[in-house]
Structure 1
Amino acid sequence: MLWPFGSTWRPVRQKQRDTLDLRWLTARTWTRRWYPQGIDLGEWRGRRTVAVSWFRQQLDGVHLASRVTFVDLERSRHLDVLLAVPDDGGELQPAPIHAGGLAWFDDRLFVAATGRGIWEFDLADVRTVRGAAAQRIAGGRPRRGRTTALVAVRTRVHPVALRCSYLGRVFDEDGTPLRRVLIGEHRTDDSGRIGEFSIPEDADGRFTEEHVFSPGIPRMQGAVRWGDRHFVSQSDGLRPGALWSGPRSALEQDDMPLPVGCEDLALDINAGLLWSLGEHPWHRVVRGISFARLGIEGTGAEPPARRT
């Protein structure tokens, strides 16, 4: 396997005036077994990378596995890393989580575990697993032949007094990343809450609540903050999603649609893009929306001013 990005497969990059799309070219675009959910940006083996989380299920909805796909933003090559948890005997099992949101801090990857807090995985200790163990962690049936997988192992479970459907990063008004996250609840009605939490500095720390608010928006899927401006995604079945933005007490719907079946959000300060993604088969896309289209002047050098 080539390293750090082992696949020669590349998604199609479609650059428009206001958006940059990455589209899957394999069964990932239509399969009903794997569904993309969370997104964030970081650095993988020295290369600027977008991370996309997926969960795997049987057709009857029984959860099987979760993974994160790391896509090199310059070369578009990708690498899959399965998420695993050790059982009581120390054997690795597939992580049974929806993985609805990601927050990536250096080698620490935080993943939303709906109803079970935030799970932390160690990207500094990604392991190579082979054979039946690799097939098990991927949620597949044992089969003949050589199977190799990369695996990130859970190191901690962080309890949070929210449903933890998704989470996103927080930046100050200068574009500096803060050690904080937004954690939100997906609800079909307008009762969903979003909380801002400081992340623990060490293994013994806990998520510290800064504040919690209720935007009054049903079907929220993701949230991030830059300065005093929040961005929230809202899904609408098989129709394009909606983007809400503004101060947390006065969110307004933007006229820029999000992908069909929109999910999580991630701010890319360096490239001047707000990333989202669509989960539904045949509508799957990873889309970056230019800050200019959203009425944000500059990139990390300027605070996000509202369009007038």
Structure 2
Amino acid sequence: MLWPFGTTWRPMRQKIRGTVDLRWLTARSWTTKWYPQGIDLGTWRGRRTLAVSWFRQDRMRRHVASRIAFVDLERSRHLDVALAIEGDDGELVPAQIHAGGLAWFGDRLFVAATGQGIWEFDLAALRRVRGPIARRLAGSRGRGWRAVALVAVRTRVHPVALRCSYLGRVFDDAGEPLRRVLIGEYRADENGRIGEFVVPGGPDDRFERVDLYTPGIANMQGAVRWGDHHLVSQSDEQRAGVLWSGHRDSLSRDRIPLPIGCEDLALDLEARLLWSLGEHPWRRVVRGIPFAQLGFDA
């Protein structure tokens, strides 16, 4: 499958055995330069698509670039789009953020920029760049003019009075998506907070907070809400992640494990799946857990 500019979609391996597991078939399965973080579901040119965010770090563990891998769920293929900022002189520079969570609303992609609020990118105006600028935006130090990259440019920075470690979608009882998100804080102790916010509509609007709570869970990595049911992911180093489920004031540990090194969460109401992903090299997986396993379809 070709992008209109001629960029090739790269294959992934899919295995369905209780869960739907997608695995990367390139060096991104084991690299220690790039790490996957956020996840959300949307429609890309009429096709159901997962968006998975990645950040790149250097040897000093400083962020140098970020990107989104768009995964065609029907064909198990992915396409990379670099995230960039446009300077006053029009020059594009890499978006040097952790990209810990995603919320995808049509052509608007919101990315959690840990400690720097929520960054918004425009998916309707992707740019094609080549040569050294393509390599720089893609986080590569290689040389040559043949490199090509697709780029989504930041349109706005939304200040939020939280650390903004991750970002998740909100649905009503009937499964209809709301123009709301959950924004949460990763902390090693149990003081991390989760806030629910209305997504800004017009250019002068801000993220409006409508709820704020502290679940009392350490190492929270993602959160979503379906009606009154909240789901929160918790990482546990090199062990399987933990899923917390229930009302926001009485979350309980679910028996279903999340991937090792689990990160963000995304609800797929059409396929009846809860998506998460693992970040650790050699154990990286994008996993869809059927609602039936979680007791949602009982």
Would you say 1:275 and 2:287 are equivalent positions? no
Amino acid in the other structure paired with 2:208: T
Number of the residue aligned with 2:253: 253
Is 1:14 aligned with 2:22? Answer: no
Tell me which amino acid in the other structure corresponds to 2:219. Answer: R
Task: Decide which moves more: 221-230 or 200-209.
Answer: 200-209
CA positional deviation for 1:8? 5.0
Residue 32 of structure 2: aligned partner: 32
- Match of 1:22, SS state, is strand
Could you tell me whether the CA contact under 8 Å between 2:234 and 2:241 is conserved in 1? yes
Q: Secondary structure at the match of 1:292?
A: helix
Q: Do the aligned residues in 1 keep the contact of 2:169 with 2:224 (CA within 8 Å)?
A: yes
Q: Is the 8 A contact 1:7 1:77 kept in 2?
A: no
Q: Partner of 2:295 in structure 1? A: 295
Q: CA deviation at 1:257?
A: 0.4
CA-CA distance at 1:93 after TM superposition: 0.2
The C-alpha deviation readout for 1:206-259, integer Å capped at 9, x for no partner, is 100001000000000000000000000000000000000101000000010000
Q: Indicate if the aligned counterparts of 2:53 and 2:68 stay in contact, CA closer than 8 A.
A: yes
Residue 63 of structure 1 corresponds to: 63
Query: Any idea what SS the aligned residue of 1:59 has?
Result: coil
Aligned to 2:197: 197
TM-score (ref. length: structure 2): 0.97
Deviation string 1:70-110 (CA, Å, 9 cap, x unpaired) is 01000112110000001232200000100000000000000
Q: Following the alignment from structure 2 to structure 1, what is the Cα–Cα distance between the partners of residues 133 and 86?
A: 12
Structure 2 Cα separation of the partners of residues 277 and 71 of structure 1: 13
> Structure 2: which amino acid aligns with 1:25?
L
Distance 1:245 1:8 in 2: 35
Report the AA paired with residue 212 of structure 2: V
Structure 2 residue ranges without an equivalent (≥5): none
SS of structure 2 residue aligned to 1:3: coil
Contact in 2 for aligned 1:108/1:121 (Cα 8 Å): yes
Query: Residues 6 and 77 of structure 1 are in contact (CA less than 8 Å); yes or no, is this contact kept in structure 2?
Result: no
Kept in 2, the 8 Å contact 1:13–1:22? The answer is yes
For 1:300, the equivalent position in structure 2 comes to: none
- Letter paired with 2:246: G
Contact 1:32–1:59 (CA under 8 A) maintained in structure 2? no
User: 1:113-132 to 2 correspondence within 5 Å?
Assistant: 113-132=113-132
1:44-63 maps to which residues of 2 (within 5 A)?
44-63=44-63
Q: How many residues align?
A: 297
Question: Counterpart of 1:124 in 2: which secondary structure?
Answer: coil
Q: Which residue of 2 aligns with 1:174?
A: 174
Deviation at 1:265, TM superposition (A): 0.1
Paired position in structure 2 for 1:301:
none
Write the mapping of 1:34-183 to structure 2, written as runs, cut at 5 A.
Answer: 34-183=34-183
Any idea what the Cα deviations from partners look like across 1:166-215, whole Å, max 9, x if unmatched?
Answer: 00000000000000000000000000000000001122211000010000
Give the whole-Å Cα distance in 2 for the aligned partners of 1:141 and 1:236.
33
Question: Distance in 2 between the 1:124 and 1:202 partners?
Answer: 17
In 2, the alpha carbon distance for the partners of 1:13 and 1:6 equals: 22
Contact 2:2–2:9 (CA under 8 A) maintained in structure 1:
no
1:194 and 1:214 in contact (8 A); partners too: yes
Mapped partners of 2:136, 2:87: distance in 1: 13
Q: Structure 2: which amino acid aligns with 1:283?
A: R
How many Å apart are 1:58 and its aligned residue? 1.2
Please report the TM-score for the alignment, with normalisation by the length of structure 1: 0.94
Distance 2:78 2:145 in 1: 23
Tell me if structure 1 keeps the 8 A contact 2:241–2:257.
yes
What is the CA-CA distance between 1:139 and the residue it aligns to?
2.1
CA distance in 2 between counterparts of 1:23 and 1:152 reads 24
1:6-49 residue CA offsets vs partner (Å, 9 max, x unmatched): 435311111012x1000111101000011000000000111110
Taking the aligned partners of 1:89 and 1:140, their CA distance within structure 2 comes to 23
